[in-house]
Structure 1
């Protein structure tokens, strides 16, 4: 019988897996681009009230995503988990619930309605994205196939982003530019798309029904049952993820770069409408160009990593550099009040879309290899915990960015519903979209120089894990592999695989030394 991780992952399977990122990418692209504008323009909410919805959601989500990761890591011990899968079960039950997304986009319902509907989407996204994120690491351990899964899912994410900014623009041609029904119909259409996408992923993916390693039995035997104990282990596992050096660096790169794009996306509508005196249809048009360019852009970055053997860090720096050029261009256009030809503007947004695709694709490609690094330290497979942290930080970047933008605009004297804004508000819009975005990207840019995960270092890591599972002696490890493991885990070789680091990182659970 073929083991789950030995099944081949072709482009058909990769597409079936990745299509769920129409929800992961599309839903939050719509939220980051349109929801704040929708709340303040058509729902009667002030900028501060709208921002508070995202703030409350962050508090709730600080619990939801890590809890979901812990549940999926342990759900295989239940009857439902054994029958339907510890990860895929949640995809099956979430598919019909996608129609909750349409409820976000109703007008004149009151503050508490909008808070409740947004919280329901946070819960739904945790139920879908956390278990789904783990599947790439479970379905295969081959570098090329995981990169394929990550690449195709990001193409689907970019397609979702393209639909998110273009569909409202198309609908505006029929409903009018200032008709709130545009957004209501958009929400209904995307709810149907998300429902079908999640169901397809449930049908075509599989899980690694791993035979527990000896070390796993030792961990479980020393973990007590009971609600309070499970909560304790959840907190320990959550914080222990940050003891892995590669994951700490990865989270810095991920949080700062994605937050930069959230800030850019949220303020761009205001930049076009108030700074360039264009209408919302222009926003849809330019962002549609960028989103469309992201699809071949993602494939291009896949080729850079898999065919031209760029390191993830080098490819990320290429992406960030192009975005810096775009920001400089947009600032120059506003500051000099230059009339730019439509063709040049389109070319700039093609560059933005292609560069942004690398920013999105590469961190999620890197993520699928983090559990391998963690296994070298803990002797456990903890995909759920890392997925929980990743989803938590991703959704946090969207909501925190929108909340802070709301506060800044409110303090700058922004007037909701006004066709013109005071000078202070315009300066705040430029400061957020250009300088705040650039500063956040700069943090990620310099962090990439410390990040050492590559195709070659991952291959050495897997080889050493396989050797130790077969009973290899720790003293037989060569110096090159010892150096790589120190760079990736942050620990000396003698501390991992049953050493001191294993006891600290694996939830402070005492394990017998494997040495």
Structure 2
């Protein structure tokens, strides 16, 4: 054995993880790789995609809740989602500072956690429970979705610097999300053929189908994507930049919120945010009313 070419691995809890598979580029990003990344988009569909179309109807028909109670649950969930979304990106960006983040990846750690977490969405569709049960289950699912999906959305920028490749990945995942949205209407329609309209069973069954399928699709994303490994040198540089941005002080929640809200000073950002929120609200409103 040629010992001259053999590199010794320093078990320091940092560099020893640099050669893990999740940090290794596996060639050109083509359609199959894009499909692997986009498969994760079914996570939001299985966790919340069914919610927009069917959950309010389920609450008022099989859970004994009023429309006002259902709307209250959605409102509290949206507020919680906004708060978690503000801090989750920062958590994912900085989890490399800990051994678990370097070992499993600051993005792939959350992708791996998403696989079993997607099964929790099934708990929302249990009939005959009280208001607090439905509020808690909805909050858990909503918070989990933001916690686990935001790190995944950063992967295209880490997998390649090529604009065309990133565009291909983004387009593919949007197409898959669109197809998934169609399935949220098609699958329940097929189940309703075999169950009476007075039965809550097709609702929990459709969630089981989507959750189990998504469990395996998430694993496909985990094994077909990679991310950037933050070296010790890069970590020092990032810490120095963070200190410079915060006038020599370590970043905290207050400084992160300040940086976030500073983006509203940009007119173009405000315009696009308004368009997004308006279209999102209109889509949810239409799909909810359409069911009734």
Common fold by TM > 0.5: yes
DSSP 3-state at the match of 1:254: helix
Query: Which residues in structure 2 correspond to 1:453-464 (within 5 Å)?
Result: none
How many Å apart are 1:39 and its aligned residue? 0.4
Question: Could you say which residue in structure 2 is the equivalent of 1:39?
Answer: 59
Question: Could you say which residue in structure 1 is the equivalent of 2:155?
Answer: 135
Query: Is this contact kept in 1: 2:113–2:148, CA < 8 A?
Result: no
Q: Does 1:159 align with 2:188?
A: no
DSSP 3-state at the match of 1:19: helix
Q: Does 1:238 align with 2:226?
A: no
Query: Is this contact kept in 1: 2:41–2:177, CA < 8 A?
Result: yes
Q: Does 1:144 align with 2:144?
A: no
Query: Which residues in structure 2 correspond to 1:176-195 (within 5 Å)?
Result: 176-195=196-215
Q: Does 1:269 align with 2:291?
A: yes
TM-score (norm 2): 0.83
Provide the rounded CA distance (Å) in 1 between the counterparts of 2:266 and 2:224: 32
Question: Structure 1 26/161 Cα, relative in aligned 2: closer, same or farther at 3 Å?
Answer: farther
Query: Which residues in structure 2 correspond to 1:218-297 (within 5 Å)?
Result: 218-222=240-244, 224-225=249-250, 230-244=252-266, 246-270=268-292
Question: Structure 1 240/87 Cα, relative in aligned 2: closer, same or farther at 3 Å?
Answer: farther
Provide the rounded CA distance (Å) in 1 between the counterparts of 2:130 and 2:203: 17
Question: Structure 1 180/213 Cα, relative in aligned 2: closer, same or farther at 3 Å?
Answer: closer
Q: Does 1:118 align with 2:138?
A: yes
How many Å apart are 1:146 and its aligned residue? 1.2
Question: Structure 1 215/239 Cα, relative in aligned 2: closer, same or farther at 3 Å?
Answer: farther
Query: Is this contact kept in 2: 1:29–1:161, CA < 8 A?
Result: yes
Query: Which residues in structure 2 correspond to 1:435-446 (within 5 Å)?
Result: none
Provide the rounded CA distance (Å) in 2 between the counterparts of 1:115 and 1:165: 24
Query: Which residues in structure 2 correspond to 1:91-102 (within 5 Å)?
Result: 91-102=111-122
Which of 11, 23, 26 is the aligned partner of 2:43?
A: 23
Structure with more relative contact order (C-alpha pairs < 8 Å, separation 6 or more): 2
Query: Which residues in structure 2 correspond to 1:201-216 (within 5 Å)?
Result: 201-209=221-229, 212=234, 216=238
DSSP 3-state at the match of 2:198: coil
Provide the rounded CA distance (Å) in 1 between the counterparts of 2:103 and 2:258: 29
Q: Could you report, residue by residue, the CA deviation over 1:165-203 in whole angstroms, capped at 9, with x for unpaired residues? A: 111111111112332111011111112122222222111
Query: Is this contact kept in 2: 1:40–1:50, CA < 8 A?
Result: yes
Provide the rounded CA distance (Å) in 1 between the counterparts of 2:106 and 2:265: 26
Question: Could you say which residue in structure 1 is the equivalent of 2:191?
Answer: 171
Query: Which residues in structure 2 correspond to 1:461-476 (within 5 Å)?
Result: none
Question: Structure 1 202/72 Cα, relative in aligned 2: closer, same or farther at 3 Å?
Answer: same
Question: Structure 1 198/269 Cα, relative in aligned 2: closer, same or farther at 3 Å?
Answer: same
Query: Is this contact kept in 1: 2:46–2:121, CA < 8 A?
Result: no
Worse-matched range after superposition: 145-154 or 25-34? 25-34
How many Å apart are 1:106 and its aligned residue? 0.7
Question: Structure 1 217/107 Cα, relative in aligned 2: closer, same or farther at 3 Å?
Answer: closer
Q: Could you report, residue by residue, the CA deviation over 1:418-446 in whole angstroms, capped at 9, with x for unpaired residues? A: xxxxxxxxxxxxxxxxxxxxxxxxxxxxx
- Structure 2 unaligned regions, length at least 5: 1-18
Question: Could you say which residue in structure 2 is the equivalent of 1:501?
Answer: none
How many Å apart are 1:253 and its aligned residue? 2.5
DSSP 3-state at the match of 2:193: helix
Provide the rounded CA distance (Å) in 2 between the counterparts of 1:104 and 1:85: 30
Which of 102, 109, 112 is the aligned partner of 1:82?
A: 102
Question: Could you say which residue in structure 1 is the equivalent of 2:10?
Answer: none
Query: Which residues in structure 2 correspond to 1:386-465 (within 5 Å)?
Result: none
* Structure label with greater radius of gyration: 1
Query: Is this contact kept in 2: 1:7–1:140, CA < 8 A?
Result: no
Query: Is this contact kept in 1: 2:124–2:137, CA < 8 A?
Result: yes
Query: Is this contact kept in 2: 1:103–1:187, CA < 8 A?
Result: no
Query: Is this contact kept in 2: 1:57–1:122, CA < 8 A?
Result: yes
Provide the rounded CA distance (Å) in 2 between the counterparts of 1:114 and 1:30: 15
Which of 66, 70, 86 is the aligned partner of 2:90?
A: 70
Q: Could you report, residue by residue, the CA deviation over 1:196-221 in whole angstroms, capped at 9, with x for unpaired residues? A: 22222111111123663997453234
Number of paired residues? Answer: 266
DSSP 3-state at the match of 1:136: helix
